[in-house]
């Protein structure tokens, strides 16, 4: 099965790790793999792509212990990068442990400052996990929201952040933004 992202037809990403075909990873990882610049100094916030064979860039994840992963808070990352990718991670920044409604927004602003001139960033956020972030993302004009429709996902013209886990254990909507 396929879906359309910014005029391109992409196959849903199907991998046994994390049951990707059954959840938002089907769209998020497919878009990220298509988007990855393939050159320049890269940063991944949240250790996701390594589980699917993508390597060769810096990976920062506050909690996940794995070889080659720097355990830092996103706001403590330094350096500059040609590209930054974050898949289903930003919504957790200071929200899960502290209930801080602004931590994710601060993280996005910080990551934007880490981009080299001409640098690019891709961020995905499952809807419904962090309502404050959902409201902020709805105001931005650089994203596309996908909502679950049966066994697939459809892009929506206006941001829709459906309750997380309403009909499945996973997200019912996912926002994908590019800088």
pLDDT tens column, 100-128: 999 999 999 999 999 999 999 999 999 99
Per residue in 8-67, pLDDT tens?
Answer: 999 999 999 988 988 999 999 999 999 999 899 999 999 999 999 999 999 999 999 999
| Residue listed under structure tokens 């956020």 | 125
- Rounded CA-CA distance 2/13 in Å is 9
- Rounded CA-CA distance 83/80 in Å is 9
Please provide residue 62's backbone torsions phi and psi, each rounded to the nearest 5 degrees.
Answer: -60, -40
**Structure-block tokens of residue 58:** 């810096």
CA nearest to 49, candidates 116, 124, 104: 124
Q: Which residues is 70 bridged to in the sheet? A: 60
Residue 99 banded pLDDT, cuts 50, 70, 90: very high
Please provide residue 148's backbone torsions phi and psi, each rounded to the nearest 5 degrees.
Answer: -70, 130
Q: Work out whether the CA dihedral 118, 3, 139, 44 comes out positive or negative.
A: negative
pTM value?
0.95
Are the beta carbons of 4 and 34 closer than 8 angstroms? Answer: no
Ramachandran sector of residue 119 (left: φ over 0; alpha: ψ -120 to 50; beta: rest): beta
Are the beta carbons of 84 and 111 closer than 8 angstroms? Answer: yes
Task: Spell out the domains of the chain, with CATH numbers in brackets.
Answer: 2-178 (3.40.50)
Q: If you average pLDDT over every residue of the chain, what do you get? A: 94
**Span 139-161, mean pLDDT?**
89
Please state whether beta strands 2-5 and 8-11 pair in parallel, antiparallel, or not at all (unpaired).
antiparallel
């Amino acid at each position: 099965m396929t879906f359309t992202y910014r005029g391109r037809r992409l196959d849903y990403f199907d991998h046994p790790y994390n049951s990707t075909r059954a959840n938002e990873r089907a769209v998020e990882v497919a878009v990220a793999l298509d988007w990855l610049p393939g050159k320049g100094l890269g940063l991944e916030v949240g250790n996701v792509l390594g589980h699917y064979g993508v390597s060769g860039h810096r990976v920062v994840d506050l909690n996940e212990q794995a070889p080659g992963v720097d355990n830092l808070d996103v706001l403590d990352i330094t350096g500059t990068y040609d590209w930054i990718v974050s898949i289903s991670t930003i919504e957790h920044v200071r929200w899960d442990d502290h209930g801080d409604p602004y931590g994710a927004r601060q993280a996005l602003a910080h990551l934007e400052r880490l981009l080299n001139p001409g640098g690019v960033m891709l961020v995905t956020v499952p809807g419904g996990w962090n309502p404050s972030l959902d409201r902020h993302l709805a105001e931005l004009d650089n994203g596309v929201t996908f909502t679950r429709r049966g066994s697939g996902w459809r892009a929506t013209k206006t941001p829709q952040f459906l309750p997380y886990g309403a009909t499945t254990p996973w997200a019912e909507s996912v926002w994908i933004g590019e800088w």
